[in-house]
Chain A
């Protein structure tokens, strides 16, 4: 320390100091990465036949083996080598390697290359091209004046019922979601046990897809003459919304400023009062914002729910898709209208957000 100071003060131009090398990542970690790549290669080689099986505790489950294991191995090695020469840290290199391994596995699992190379031939043969062209010449008359096939219900009434379902589900679902988010966040919940339990329930609710919820509720309620009616769809959307709002809002509550909570505590408020006066106002903007987001999601989801036969435009959409070659222009009209409606809702929610917040 002192030596350096002396030297710089005594000489006008300091002697050239040895410049530091860029830090080299540890070699043994990289050897480990090569080992990982080799293990992946071995696994892929062993399972390269479609008939190969992987023993899982529950039974024999076929893992579709990746194709061309050698090429995959070379790509993995190339990634490791690239990371080594660019002196990437071993963790980042491991991340890159796992992305490659996973993509390789997943890609061959779903026959990525076969399907992509097949696309041009599919475009030239069959009616795929007509179908795609049908989307760009939508039949607007169908959308405005036709009835649902075999009934006297107009198509625009299906749009109306979709919007109605979205409104009801959003309002009910968001309030239940708010309640669950409060119970699930350690900041606002009664105790740790409650919040952990609620978190677990939330993640179960969230991991069941909305179509599965619709099927469950359809069975719970019993079907009507026209598919499943609106109640199953509304309940399914409510569960779907609860999952989303509870997750997103729970994160907002976790991040809330703890000062006002402490002040409410110090004023002798009980837990419910504290949540009401200190937590709720703080998360209100996010709550409104999430509710509007969820409303938008609901309209899109009700198109998906149609496939299981619930009421609304989704049901009509899947009926028209089911007609295959005759329905393209109708499908096109519904899709374009869906895009329009979602865009309008998007604009509306943007406007409300600006007004309120």
Chain B
């Protein structure tokens, strides 16, 4: 995965995430967490390797195929990315875009079933009473719930969350993350979450992936993520030397992330994380 300016965002990533898992990706800023997550739904086109979601190969060049894929892969953002000036319900209905005919979106006349799905998602996150409020009038936690509802309205198989709680205060962060965890378990959705907060990752995730400088440096169930391991992910990176290495171009072989549902045999490549000395 190489950026146009020659910077390598991800390097030699070999991951296999199975259906229904709640995976937390931790690491410093600039470690490639966001890039990894955005590569999954093609918001950041990867340059080398192969990435499949279910049976579908993510092909950044094929726009219509990508759109079809994105309808099944929801995404939550740090800044919520709600449209502030329209109602909460309309924000959630953005999630129905992929299954709504363009002319219906154009005149804002969504079908009854779309609205039903939107209301159900709002009920799931518990802010149905705010359905007709302006999105910008809500608090941070409520806004992130709107974003979750928007994603749920897509009826997704995978939810990607890019720092979903980084702009929330700690109690709200726990509540939102708890909601996400509950919904994910109820519906059996695969969930990949970027996080800064180690304690939150430990409390909510099934599996933790540590990243540094575009590489996976730890991958294992939450119980294995001991302090020593985490220190390896975090502490050493804090020195000036480690930061400098981020800009040094390193060789890139391959990026592949298989999110096979249930079956793991697609993973000929090892699920073993690449540990760098």
Determine whether the beta carbon of B75 is less than 8 Å from that of A263.
yes
Write the chain B residue with the least CB distance to A261.
Answer: B81
Cross-interface CB contact of A267 among B106, B108, B150, cutoff 8 Å: B150
Please state if B102 and A267 are interface contacts (CB–CB under 8 Å). Answer: no
Query: Given known contacts A259-B79, A273-B102, A278-B83, is B97 in contact with A264 (CB within 8 Å)?
Result: yes
In the complex, what residues of A have CB within 8 A of residue B105's CB?
269, 272-273, 276-277
B50 to chain A minimum Cβ distance, whole angstroms, is 21
Q: Is the CB of A263 within 8 A of B70?
A: no
Q: Cβ of A92 < 8 Å from any Cβ of B?
A: no
Min distance, Cβ A257 to any Cβ of chain B, angstroms: 8
B250 part of interface (Cβ distance < 8 Å)? no
If A262-B43, A267-B74, A272-B105 touch, whether A282 touches B68 (CB-CB below 8 Å) is no
**Which residue of B is nearest A277, CB measured?**
B94
Give the residues in chain B near A125, CB-CB below 8 Å.
none
Chain B positions within 8 Å of A268 at CB level: 67-71, 97-98, 154
Interface residues of A in 238-295 (CB under 8 A from B): 259-260, 262-270, 272-274, 276-278, 281-282, 284-285
B82 at the binding interface (Cβ < 8 Å) = yes
Contact B94 A278 (CB under 8 A): yes
A197 CA / B6 CA spacing, docked (Å):
30
Of chain A, the residue at the smallest CB distance from B63 is A270
In the complex, which of the residues B70, B73, B79, B100 contacts A273, with contact meaning CB atoms closer than 8 Å? B100
- Give Cα A6–Cα B243 distance, bound, in whole angstroms: 33
Give min CB distance, B75 to chain A, whole Å: 4
Partner of A269, one of B79, B84, B94, B147: B94
Residues of B within 8 A of A274 (CB): 97
Min C-beta distance of A243 to chain B, whole Å:
25
Task: State which residues 99-156 of B face A: CB under 8 Å.
Answer: 100, 102, 105-106, 108, 147, 150-151, 154
Neighbour of B70 across the interface among A260, A266, A276, A277, CB < 8 A: A266
Q: Using a Cβ–Cβ cut-off of 8 Å, how many residues does chain A contribute to the interface with B?
A: 21
Known: A281-B83, A281-B86, A282-B85. A267 touches B94 (CB 8 A): yes
Interface core residue of A264, A265, A268, A281 (most chain B CB under 10 Å): A268
B residues in contact with A276, CB < 8 Å: 105-106, 108
Number of interface residues of B (CB under 8 A): 35
Could you tell me the distance between the alpha carbons of A270 and B105 in the complex, rounded to whole angstroms?
A: 10
Does chain A have a CB within 8 A of B41? yes
In the complex, the answer to whether A263 meets B85 with C-beta atoms within 8 Å is no
- Assembly CA distance A266 to B93 (angstroms): 13
**B90 located at the interface, meaning its Cβ lies under 8 Å from any Cβ of chain A in the complex:** yes
Q: Once the chains are docked, how many angstroms separate the CA of A278 from the CA of B67?
A: 17
What is the chain A residue whose CB lies nearest that of B156?
A267
Query: Across the interface, do B70 and A267 meet the contact criterion of CB distance under 8 Å?
Result: yes
Residues of B230-260 at the interface with A, using a CB-CB cut-off of 8 Å, are none
- Report A-chain residues with C-beta under 8 Å of the C-beta of B43: 262, 265-266
Question: Which of A269, A272, A282 contacts B98, CB < 8 Å?
Answer: A269
* CB-based nearest B residue for A284: B85
- The answer for the CA separation of A259 and B105 in the assembled complex, in Å, is 19
Let me know if B77 is at the binding interface, CB within 8 A: yes
The residues of B that contact A263 with a CB separation of less than 8 Å are 75, 77, 81-82, 94, 147, 150
CB-based contact A265/B83 at 8 Å: no
Q: How far is the CB of A188 from chain B (nearest CB, A)?
A: 14
Once bound together, how far apart are the Cα atoms of A259 and B43, in whole Å? 12
- Chain A residues in 8 Å Cβ range of B67: 268-270
Q: How far is the CB of A266 from chain B (nearest CB, A)?
A: 4
User: Is A267 within 8 A of B81, CB to CB?
Assistant: no
Nearest Cβ on chain B to A258's Cβ, whole angstroms: 9
| B83 & A260 in contact (Cβ 8 Å cutoff) | yes
Partner of A260 from the list B41, B74, B81 (CB cut-off 8 Å) is: B81
CB neighbours of A264 from chain B (8 A):
94, 97
B71–A272 contact, CB under 8 A?
Answer: no
A272–B81 contact, CB under 8 A?
Answer: no
Q: Which residues of A contact B93 (CB under 8 A)?
A: 277
Q: Is B95 an interface residue (CB 8 A)?
A: yes
Contact yes or no, A266 B86, CB < 8 A: no
B94 touches A270 (CB 8 A): no
Which A58-100 residues sit within 8 Å CB-CB of chain B?
none
Other than the given A262-B43, A266-B75, A277-B94, 8 more pairs (CB < 8 A) read A263-B82, A267-B74, A268-B71, A269-B94, A272-B106, A274-B97, A281-B84, A282-B83
Residue contacts A-B, CB under 8 angstroms, 10 given: A265-B43, A266-B73, A266-B75, A267-B70, A277-B83, A277-B90, A277-B93, A277-B105, A281-B85, A282-B84
Shortest 7 CB-CB contacts between residues of A and residues of B = A268-B98, A269-B97, A268-B71, A266-B75, A259-B81, A263-B81, A268-B70
